[in-house]
Amino acid sequence: MTNAIFGRRALLATALAAATAAVVPFDAARAADFSGKTIEWIIPFKEGGGSDRWARFYAPLLAPNLPGSPTIVVKNVPGGGSTKGANQFTQRARPDGLTILGTSGSTQFPYLLGDKRVKYEYKDWNVVLATPTGGVVYLSPKLGVNSAADLGKLADADLKYGSQGATSLDLVPLLAFEMLGLNVKAVFGMKGRGAGRLAFERGETSIDYQTSSAYLSKVTPLVQEGKAVPIMSWGALDDDGNLTRDPTFPDLPHFAEVYEMLKGEKPSGPSFEAWKAFFTAGFPAQKMVFLPKGTPDDVVEAYRAAVRKTISAPDFAESAKKVLGAYEQATDGAAEAKFKVATEVSPDAKEWVRSWLTNKYNVSF
């Protein structure tokens, strides 16, 4: 009897010891600490574009606010209209907080449209930051157009535009150009909007657009030197979902205003509904930061806390306005809400755009 009791106690002690041993590393993992670590921030575009500029602005601000003050290194992985870098993140990133991904609308659109290059699932990822942005269209001064009101002069002009691909964020400008009646030939194969801007600077293209961060840093000097003429912004959405002027570029008319200038009526119909649906998906949460599937809750919270601390710093709003534009940065529930808008479009808009892309650019899905 005594031996039996002793045996049961020994087994219980062994079980408890094993359970304790199993719990210790789990508890240790729950305490997020990146001391002495290097975090790799994947940007699926070439250097010099809006997403690259955004990441390099945020990296040194986020790093000291993460546990252990790690180093954050931006790694550019261009290709496939940004699908290469996103696919690599899905396939290789471990859920330890040491690899994060920054996406843009050019990563969202192929996902929304069912592009066969997409091997990633947005809903598997954990969003920790969402950054709205805008975009500005500008022309070569050689075209003789000084404002949006003069665009009618280009009715017979052949324009060239450097594009990442028809299913990228460039879908928004390409459809807008067509709706405005501009004859724009897309030159595909650019590895990012930065490459598109360089093609414009070299005189290889005559019309271009950049998201706000790249426009502020790279195109504003061209405007000041008389080498680029700003025409319009895409606009922004108010609380009721109406298109309004971009707060970063309040002096520029937005796309719907320019349409009305040229056509004498407000934009409407399936093409505008599709444009607005993809504009909404692509710009109010145009750039987002993600942790991979399976990342522990404490690591996710450590990142969100770092974002909260970063964007609430006294000097953040002013410095962000100069680099990113006058947009409200979001984390926690606000980022989740923007993420939902950015990764969903109506079936009607999706079907219209897929049909347009197939007919216009021979895109197959």
What pLDDT, in 10s, does the model give residues 208-262? 999 999 999 999 999 999 999 999 999 998 888 889 999 999 999 999 999 999 9
290/130 Cα distance (integer angstroms) = 9
Residue where a domain stops, chosen among 238, 260, 282: 282
- Regarding whether 270 and 162 lie in a shared domain, the answer is yes
What pLDDT, in 10s, does the model give residues 96-111? 999 999 999 889 999 9
- Regarding whether 169 and 103 lie in a shared domain, the answer is no
Task: Report pLDDT for 301.
Answer: 97
pLDDT at 18 over 90: no
Count of structural domains, the chain: 2
pLDDT at 11 over 70: no
- Report which residue type is found at 15: A
Residue where a domain stops, chosen among 254, 282, 310: 282
What pLDDT, in 10s, does the model give residues 24-58? 333 333 579 999 999 999 999 999 888 999 999 99
What pLDDT, in 10s, does the model give residues 142-171? 999 999 999 999 989 999 999 999 999 999
291-325 core/surface letters (b: 16 or more CB in 10 A; e: else): bbeebbeebbebbbbbbeebbeeeeeeeebeeebb
Residue owning tokens 């002013």: 318
Residue 299 lies in a domain: yes
- Regarding whether 145 and 108 lie in a shared domain, the answer is no
- Regarding whether 100 and 173 lie in a shared domain, the answer is no
Task: Report pLDDT for 30.
Answer: 54
- Regarding whether 251 and 190 lie in a shared domain, the answer is yes
- Regarding whether 102 and 210 lie in a shared domain, the answer is no
**Within 13 Å of residue 130, how many CA atoms lie on the same side as its CB?**
25
CATH number at residue 208: 3.40.190.10
Residue where a domain stops, chosen among 225, 254, 282: 282
267/254 Cα distance (integer angstroms) = 12
pLDDT at 8 over 60: no
Please give the residue range of the domain that contains residue 325.
Answer: 38-132+283-347
Q: What one-character-per-residue DSSP string does 227-280 give? A: S-EEEEE--EE-TTS-EE--TT-TTSPBHHHHHHHHHSS---HHHHHHHHHHHH
Q: Nearest-5° angle of CA 262, CA 268, CA 269?
A: 130
Residue 22 lies in a domain: no
Q: What percent of the chain has pLDDT over 90?
A: 83
- Regarding whether 315 and 246 lie in a shared domain, the answer is no
Residue 123 lies in a domain: yes
pLDDT at 313 over 60: yes
- Regarding whether 219 and 91 lie in a shared domain, the answer is no
In this prediction, residue 181 has a pLDDT band, given cuts at 50, 70 and 90, of: very high
Residue 16 lies in a domain: no
Residue 54 lies in a domain: yes
pLDDT at 129 over 60: yes
How far is residue 19 from each of residues 5, 14, 23, 26, 31, measured CA to CA in Å? 21, 9, 6, 11, 19
Residue 358 lies in a domain: no
Task: Report pLDDT for 25.
Answer: 37
Residue 13 lies in a domain: no
What number of other Cβ atoms are within 10 A of residue 248's Cβ? 21
- Region 312-336: mean pLDDT is 95
